[in-house]
Structure 1
């Protein structure tokens, strides 16, 4: 039933091409972004979550009360 409905729509064949193009361009852009990242920044950020700082007095946003 759905196949007949979709076949009746004029220009329906362009939608899969558009969606694949958006998908491909997004991940291509993401790959370029990662390739061009500053390696020093990535190295510095890699240890942020595991830093041995005392977190008992830290609050959300870094503001101490």
Structure 2
């Protein structure tokens, strides 16, 4: 089965770009996520982190 899949995949032209694209998407996502975490305002983080604890407040200010 694996030999069939390997032979079939080798017959597709340009398939070697897909793992590179997947790695780039993965890397860019986590770089952007890290950048957002580092640059997020502390007030926003505090407000969002307290949402599960505040049962009676309306959170429309977010």
TM-score, normalised to structure 2's length? 0.75
Take 1:20 and 1:9, find their aligned partners in 2: how far apart are those partners? Answer: 20
SS at match of 1:9: coil
Q: Which structure is higher in RCO with an 8 Å CA cutoff and minimum separation 6?
A: 2
RMSD of aligned residue pairs (Cα, Å):
2.0
Structure 2 unaligned blocks of 5 or more: none
Aligned to 1:13: 16
Aligned to 2:48: 45
Larger radius of gyration: 1
Structure 1 unaligned blocks of 5 or more: 55-61
TM-score, normalised to structure 1's length? 0.72
